[in-house]
Amino acid sequence: MPLVWQEARITAAVPETPRVRRLTLAVGWGKPFRAGQHVDVRLTAPDGHQAQRSYSIASSPTRPETIDLLIERLADGEVSGFFADVAEPGDVIELRGPIGGAFVWDPAEGGPLLLVGGGSGVVPLLSMLRHRAEGAPDVPALLLTSARTPDDVIAREELMRRDAEEPNFQLRLVLTRVPGGRRIDADTVRAALAALGTPAHTFVCGSNPFVSAASDLLVEAGLPARTIRTERFGG
């Protein structure tokens, strides 16, 4: 069935990090989505100018009637600027979805599951982790994610709690803009693979340069390319 634009109401808008805002939307599509999928949003200015962008769903599919989006404010960003600074609870926006058939994980697929996210690229991986915790907590999973500083880590408290409490989940955090900071590199990839074991499924998400660099490192570390799925946010 073709996707149709529909109205969705913003029910909450709260800061997630200094650069990322979490929006909760009540959606009327009445159908389940899959962890990893995204939606398209469309804004229309009073003069008729329209702007359309994609945003991954951060929340778990077990709560399909409301979705959380985590939107990073980009310098001069037309749409992210609106969501970061202007949108408020009660506003109605146009949205269509859920979208995406390849970058999705269902508990039935099992694991081990390696999730690699750069910055806001962690968003669809959060949906997978939340779904896994509810539906398949025995599946071993490791999230390797990079952020600029500790304050920029999206869902930091949740991820640290999961790392401490969930026996089959491990968090590997890489900070890029702190003294001694680094990027995800061959060493961090090797250490993650040693800790997890060979993943059956690997998901990589972030900006174009991040996805290219991380995918190359994973292939160089010996992972078959066919087991690696990627989602590029642009940039």
Ligand X SMILES: Cc1cc2nc3c(=O)[nH]c(=O)nc-3n(C[C@H](O)[C@H](O)[C@H](O)COP(=O)(O)OP(=O)(O)OC[C@H]3O[C@@H](n4cnc5c(N)ncnc54)[C@H](O)[C@@H]3O)c2cc1C
Q: Which residues here bind ligand X, judged by CB under 6 A?
A: 38, 53-56, 70-72, 74, 76-81, 120, 123, 207, 231, 233-235
Q: How far is the CB of 199 from ligand X (least distance, A)?
A: 22
Q: How far is the CB of 20 from ligand X (least distance, A)?
A: 7
Q: How far is the CB of 187 from ligand X (least distance, A)?
A: 25
How many alpha carbons lie under 13 Å from residue 206 in its C-beta half-sphere? Answer: 20
**Of 123 and 192, which has the nearer Cβ to ligand X?**
123
**Of 17 and 188, which has the nearer Cβ to ligand X?**
17
**Of 72 and 168, which has the nearer Cβ to ligand X?**
72
Q: How far is the CB of 194 from ligand X (least distance, A)?
A: 30
Compute the Cα dihedral for 173, 178, 184, 186 and give only its sign. Answer: negative
**Of 29 and 233, which has the nearer Cβ to ligand X?**
233
Rounded Cα–Cα distance for residues 190 and 179 (Å): 23
The C-alpha angle with vertex 150 and arms to 146 and 152, in degrees rounded to 5, equals: 70
Q: How far is the CB of 41 from ligand X (least distance, A)?
A: 9
β-strands 141-147, 169-175 pairing = parallel
Question: Taking the CB of residue 126, how many other CB atoms lie within 10 A of it?
Answer: 25
**Of 125 and 196, which has the nearer Cβ to ligand X?**
125
Q: To the nearest 10°, the Cα dihedral for 14, 19, 20, 21? A: 30
Rounded Cα–Cα distance for residues 127 and 133 (Å): 10
